[in-house]
Structure 1
């Protein structure tokens, strides 16, 4: 099949209203994809943020953060998606969410740690001089100043998870990957356009999530910290 033919078939497939509204159509798969991705990122944040923030506050966790990030990055997501359904989690969305949450941990953990450690030592000293306890220092000074890093880490993790969640189709986990898998189940001459359409939908969703979270990050970050937030974006790349 020529590229032009595949593109034409993809446009035709996307313009068919039944492919959007039928059971198992685009709207159903999109809802599944967003649900799986959101649950995975939130689960990753519940695990990674408290650990990263506490290690950053204590100042003794650099090696731990590096080790955890390296270990989680070294585990292939597809391998986890293959292994976890054979455990008590079974097939479906639960093993997919767990596998994707592991994939989300490195940027969340690294940015939480980096955000807290990036606080100016003089600011910490001034806070302690005012009589703030360790907990008050963390909640009133370090965490607010780490907001750009936390938001940037969440954004990176979300985009990565959305893009990777298409692999859920391998274990019947739902999502837009099911559209791609169904296209591959047909001959290339027949299903090539559907495969291309599914890939395009995943890419567009990832771009939409990136844009939306970039806007949310900017709104939630205090104006004086927005420049620091740009530095936080760079930390995401290094941390991830």
Structure 2
């Protein structure tokens, strides 16, 4: 949520074509169809937070299309009542105020020098797409069945200082994945590709290799 392709721009160069799929529909299912229509044939799918939640739905709908899957800083459980209340409140609030309110939870260090990068992405996303993302979050369902039904390699990555998606969320994902691996980054927060681009890039590179086997 509130991120664009700049989230991944510091990663080292990856082999093959990289496609940044738009996720702007107001449902998780609609977003999954956007991902599936962004490329032809099989692909490796990597998503962070909402992007990974959409990825779970892609696995449910078309697991045969996904060579390998990377889930970063995310949650495969169904929305909690407090989350639904927060999304409703955010949808009715001033956009700039919501972005400022969200900012401290994005990084391990509240005064991170990366704050401006997040604010720039949020500004480009804008309130209209943000409201669609909030609406989509409300359509989430528990995704553990989709994860369990996928037989490809799964790389799960999180920071141990993520205030939004703690390590336990990711341990649960790996528990349901037949070929899952978990990597926990010490001292890292939620937006891992900005905080630890070299590590994230290396792990995605290894995931690509696993997907080719």
**TM-score per shorter chain, which class?**
under 0.3
Q: TM-score, normalized by length of structure 2? A: 0.24
Larger strand fraction of residues: 2
Q: TM-score, normalized by length of structure 1? A: 0.22
The structure with the largest alpha-carbon Rg is: 1
